[in-house]
């Protein structure tokens, strides 16, 4: 693929890596391939985190941190938990009886992830990994690092509001909170920006112009570029932002400035 020439400084808030070579076939996530694709897209740095696991994320997080050394990657630690993120009576009942097992992230794990700037933030995907307990979320709050969370079916905008927004850390919602391509959920997530100053959205795999343009025009400081690589080629994500009908200054905020305020290691 030819290299894009766009003249913007671009950083990417959403890149998944696969530290296990045996698991890369068909799913991508190879660090060399990702780095090459970022270069093709004109992306200079990006937040990275491990792909899905069933046996906890301690080893995978540490592997991604090692893979980031010497590369334009900023590692986030992926955090899981025993709680059902649903809002129904069944979920609440299950959560009463839930308890953290050995493979789930503990408050002590969070402290270690944050120690000595080994990780620059945390990644949640409650729809896949379960929701951490309040003690773990409190430890994340104490660490003072941003949280990038999946947003969409299984963990929609109301779940984000109910479970995360009471804590004092920046929350960046992937896919505008509407994955996969749920317009109603996307619009509801954009609505939440009116009431929560520490809430942000990222553009990975959105593909619909209208909600992104609306959010950029109404909240130009709260939209961050995310490609969703390797599922989406970074060049595709960059082109989708370049074709938005928004002012150039707002586009510059989306591509770089906003992410640099939320994740200090992405700043110039």
Q: Each residue of 119-144: pLDDT tens digit?
A: 999 999 999 999 999 999 999 999 99
Q: What is the DSSP letter of 45?
A: E
φ, ψ for residue 26, nearest 5 deg: 85, -20
Query: Domain segments of the chain: what residues?
Result: 10-266
- Peptide bond before 157: cis, by omega within 30 degrees of 0? no
- Peptide bond before 180: cis, by omega within 30 degrees of 0? yes
Q: What is the pTM of this model?
A: 0.94
* CATH of 10-266 among 3.20.20.140, 3.30.830.10, 3.40.50.1820, 3.30.360.10: 3.20.20.140
For 81-115, how does the pLDDT look when each residue is reduced to its tens digit (9 = 90+)? 998 887 665 565 555 556 667 889 999 999 999 99
Structure-block tokens of residue 29: 């996530």
């Amino acid at each position: 693929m030819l290299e894009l020439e766009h003249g913007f400084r671009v950083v990417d808030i959403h890149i998944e890596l696969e530290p296990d070579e045996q698991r890369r076939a068909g799913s991508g996530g190879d660090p060399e391939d990702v780095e090459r694709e970022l270069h093709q897209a004109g992306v200079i740095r990006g937040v990275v985190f491990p792909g899905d696991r069933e046996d906890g994320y301690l080893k995978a997080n540490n592997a991604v941190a090692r893979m980031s050394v010497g590369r334009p990657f900023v590692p986030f630690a992926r955090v899981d938990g025993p709680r059902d993120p649903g809002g129904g009576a069944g979920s609440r009942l299950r959560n009463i009886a839930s308890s953290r097992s050995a493979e789930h992230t503990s408050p002590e794990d969070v402290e270690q992830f944050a120690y000595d700037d080994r990780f620059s933030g945390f990644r949640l995907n409650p729809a896949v990994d379960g929701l951490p307990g309040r003690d773990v979320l409190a430890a994340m709050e104490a660490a003072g690092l941003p949280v990038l969370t999946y947003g969409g079916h299984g963990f929609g905008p109301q779940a984000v509001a109910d479970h995360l927004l009471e804590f004092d850390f920046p929350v960046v919602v992937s896919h505008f909170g509407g994955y996969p391509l749920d317009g109603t959920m996307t619009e509801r997530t954009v609505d939440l920006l009116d009431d929560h100053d520490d809430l942000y959205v990222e553009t990975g795999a959105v593909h619909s112009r209208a909600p992104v343009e609306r959010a950029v025009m109404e909240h130009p400081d709260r939209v961050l570029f995310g490609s969703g690589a390797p599922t989406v080629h970074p060049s595709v994500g960059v082109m989708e932002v370049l074709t938005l009908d928004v002012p150039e200054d707002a586009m510059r905020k989306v591509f770089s400035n906003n992410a640099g305020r939320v994740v200090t290691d992405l700043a110039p």
